[in-house]
Structure 1
Amino acid sequence: MSIQGITEADIANFLAHNPGFFERNAELLASIQLTSPHGQRAVSLQERQMEMLREKIKGLEGKIIEMIRHGQENVAIADRLHRWTRALMLTASAADLPEVLTRELMHQFMIPQSGIRVWGAADAFGSLAFAAPVSKDVQSLAASLTLPYCGVNSGFEAAQWLDDPAAAMSLAMIPLRHGAGVEAFGMLVLASPDPTRYTAEMGTEFLQRIGELASASLSRLLPVG
């Protein structure tokens, strides 16, 4: 809008650079009427400013509540991770580690099913379930995973490690290895009947940490040297 060559931008620029204008013309604050966003009634400039401030404060309160909620969720996750890690550290027998690892993982994080295989285990553990032979395809899959796989269960062999493979609609497959570029010595599988529990779009940072802690714990199963 332009009035005799003066544009809205000119008026806005003048007011921005002359903060004392309304102090010198205080009567304008009471006389200017604006339309309220909460109806068609007219309100004063001061009232409109107050409405804008209330809306801004309400938005900030919402953000603070969301930050508090996220903080509480993060504390709860950290507590569960702590209890899981503590259970692993308190496991005296190395042979019991895979069972404790999967059982406590399911308990702490409400995971319906979990399975594990370690194909690099020492000969002393060869007769145990977690050391059962796996195919070269599974080993190649684990070796190819630089990040945990999350997605639908499309008939993966690793799903057969679960108690009820048919109920596994989505999977997270986490390779077990000591550091990037190192050959995988096993794989951890998490499963859910919910097809949206593990998806390709989800972040894998937390699952990576689970894999790192699991790998460190299960290092006791590997041959010495």
Structure 2
Amino acid sequence: MSEVATLTAETVAQFLQDNPAFFDEHADIFATLTVPHPHARQTLSLGERQILTLRTRNKELEWKLSELMHNANSNEAISDHVTLWCTRMLAEPDAQRLPQRVVDGLRQEFDMLEVALRLWNLPALKDERFLSSDDMLQAYVGGLQKPYCGQEGYLPAHSWFDSKPGSVAMVPLTHDNRNIGVLVFAAEGTEHFKPDMGTIFLEILGKLASASLSRLHSAA
């Protein structure tokens, strides 16, 4: 006695994919076939169901396009902010003013964040507000392969701000492959800086700040 093959939805779908001429050969089935409405207690013709599917997909594509345009506008705004920050640093003739210029510029361009800066290994730096001799901080920053993002980081750095931050980003600064400091961003929200977020933008800020502050390695 032969076994009866089990007919499944996957079998039917595969058959229709393998036999695209099926509905041409059986046009009467195509014209009369109905399927359940996805959002109501009624049925639709196969053609109507296809139109409904296309409308849904079109709406999804509209949302995706809107999201892409929003992201593009946001990225353009961020790029403008960074450009303004860089021009201010480049225009500063006095290297001793650069640390304050770095912090003030970032605070101005990203006004939702608090910014702090600590520096070392810069022999020409005279402004003690930015100088740090904290060996533990230097060791922590030296161990960072990329900016830290999260709720902790180097915890003593939280005291650099008027109120305890919900999350922080700690960006190592380097010159000639040597750590010269750390740039810290603090946010009120605990989810603003998350461990799994991308850090490319923060790394760019770190490189730009490092390049500017390197003038203090040998400035008069």
Length-normalised TM-score, structure 1:
0.82
Q: Taking structure 1 as reference, are residues 173 and 18 closer, same or farther at Cα in structure 2, changes over 3 Å only?
A: closer
Q: Taking structure 1 as reference, are residues 122 and 10 closer, same or farther at Cα in structure 2, changes over 3 Å only?
A: closer
Matches within 5 A, 1:94-133: 94-123=95-124, 125-126=125-126, 128-133=127-132
Matches of 1:89 and 1:118, distance apart in 2: 19
State whether residues 117 and 131 of structure 1, in contact with CA within 8 Å, keep that contact through their aligned partners in structure 2. yes
Q: Which runs of 5+ in 2 are unaligned?
A: none
1:134 matched to which residue of 2?
Answer: 133
1:174 is paired with a residue whose SS is strand
State whether residues 158 and 164 of structure 2, in contact with CA within 8 Å, keep that contact through their aligned partners in structure 1. no
Cα root mean square deviation, aligned: 2.5
The partner residue of 1:215 within 197, 205, 210 is: 210
1:79 is paired with a residue whose SS is helix
Q: State the shift of 1:27 in Å.
A: 2.9
Q: State the shift of 1:76 in Å.
A: 1.4
1:185 is paired with a residue whose SS is strand
More deviation in 9-18 or 196-205?
9-18
**1:64-119 deviation per Cα after TM superposition (whole angstroms, max 9, x unaligned):** 21211111111111111111111111111111111111111011122442221222
Identity of aligned residues (%): 32
1:170 matched to which residue of 2?
Answer: 167
Which amino acid in 2 is paired with 1:115? A
Matches of 1:60 and 1:43, distance apart in 2: 24
1:157 matched to which residue of 2?
Answer: 156
State whether residues 167 and 192 of structure 1, in contact with CA within 8 Å, keep that contact through their aligned partners in structure 2. no
Q: Structure 1 stretches (4+) deviating beyond 4 angstroms?
A: 8-14
**1:179-200 deviation per Cα after TM superposition (whole angstroms, max 9, x unaligned):** 6xx2201121222333333233
2:184 matched to which residue of 1?
Answer: 189
Q: State the shift of 1:6 in Å.
A: 8.0
Matches of 2:160 and 2:6, distance apart in 1: 77
State whether residues 30 and 44 of structure 1, in contact with CA within 8 Å, keep that contact through their aligned partners in structure 2. yes
State whether residues 116 and 130 of structure 1, in contact with CA within 8 Å, keep that contact through their aligned partners in structure 2. no
More deviation in 27-36 or 74-83?
27-36
1:117 is paired with a residue whose SS is strand
Q: Taking structure 1 as reference, are residues 93 and 36 closer, same or farther at Cα in structure 2, changes over 3 Å only?
A: same
Q: Which runs of 5+ in 1 are unaligned?
A: none
Q: State the shift of 1:130 in Å.
A: 4.3
Matched, 1:35 2:36: yes
Matches of 2:11 and 2:166, distance apart in 1: 63
More deviation in 83-92 or 16-25?
16-25
Length-normalised TM-score, structure 2:
0.84
